[in-house]
Amino acid sequence: MMVLGGAAAACGFNMLLIPVKLLSSGVSGIAMIVGYVTGWSIGWLYFTLNIPILLWGYWILGRRFVYLSIVNVISTTLFLQFAPERAFTDDRILAAVFGGVLVGLGSAVCLRFGGSSGGFDIVASIISRYRDTPVGLLIVLFNTGIVAALGLVKQDWNAALYSMLSIYLSGKVIDLVHTPHLKVTAFIVTNKTEELVSRLLMLPRGVTILKTRGAFTSVERDLLMTVTTRFELAELRKMIRGIDPKAFVNVVQTVDVIGEFQRRPP
């Protein structure tokens, strides 16, 4: 998935954004500006600029995350070097829209499967880990300065604005796929309380146990209430089905959480 994410991002760069001199988000955007001005290889610039950020992420986000990110960064660099730079369209609006979606999809796939596309994705992931802020929104905010730099350096504000559209769409795609900032509450009616509680506490998520009685059957059962994230919902669903296939589960969107909520794994 890291390699596929890198391929999607590289296609967005080489076939849509770079031919019409637009920017992507993050470190790739910085590499593009330098490449446009100096003529240097954008792929190798992208790789070089990612090295210090990957080292920082290693200490904060853990080995597995950074190792997967390294795989993606190397894959993207190689695809940028060897994939042909071929314009699919000369229309900057179309290039910005579809280039932004492709790059955002590549980043989102990496984040969804435990890695990242490097660069500002790592910085945004570090901040999002401590605060309930969407990663995509952070990436858009970080890139405002890069877009302004393109307008100042190239004196092409049309390109800067089209690039902002591309970056915005990339961020929206990331937030549609990568959703650890969204909270949900699961109400689980089960006869296997102890097994489910022990597994939920390993996520780690707190659990509240309520005694309930069915109105039709008058049978008493336990109701477990737990708050988790949309990102972890698939894992929760699989766990419940494995332990108690007959459990009744109601999942509702949570607007806000006040009080202690485990954002960062211990």
Q: Establish whether the linkage from the previous residue to 265 is cis, with ω within 30° of 0.
A: no
> Given this model, what pLDDT does residue 234 score?
72
* 222-238 mean pLDDT: 81
Same domain, yes or no, for 8 and 107? yes
Pairing verdict, β 248-254 and 220-229: unpaired
Same domain, yes or no, for 203 and 92? no
Same domain, yes or no, for 228 and 99? no
Residue 260 lies in a domain: no
Residue 76 pLDDT grade (very low, low, confident, very high; cuts 50, 70, 90)? very high
Task: Identify whether the C-beta of residue 215 lies closer than 8 Å to the C-beta of residue 245.
Answer: no
For helices 42-61 and 63-82, what crossing angle results, to 10°? Answer: 170
Instruction: Please tell me the pTM assigned to this model.
Output: 0.67
Q: Give whole-number Cα distances, 58 to 65, 111, 210, in Å.
A: 8, 15, 41
With tokens 């190689």, the residue in question is 78
- The tens digit of pLDDT for each residue in 165-211 reads 888 888 788 777 765 556 789 999 988 888 888 888 877 778 889 98
Question: Domain end: 142, 177, 212, which one?
Answer: 177
Which of 116-125, 131-140, 164-173, 219-228 has maximum average pLDDT? 219-228
Same domain, yes or no, for 137 and 172? yes
Mean residue pLDDT across the chain: 82
Same domain, yes or no, for 141 and 50? yes
Same domain, yes or no, for 23 and 130? yes
Same domain, yes or no, for 97 and 190? no
Confidence check: pLDDT of 125 > 70: no
Residue 38 burial (C-beta neighbours within 10 Å; 0-12, 13-18, 19+): exposed
> Given this model, what pLDDT does residue 13 score?
92
Same domain, yes or no, for 238 and 173? no
Question: Domain end: 160, 177, 194, which one?
Answer: 177
* 126-132 mean pLDDT: 66
> Given this model, what pLDDT does residue 266 score?
36
Range of the domain at 208: 183-254
List the CATH number of the domain containing 235. 3.30.70.120
Same domain, yes or no, for 202 and 151? no
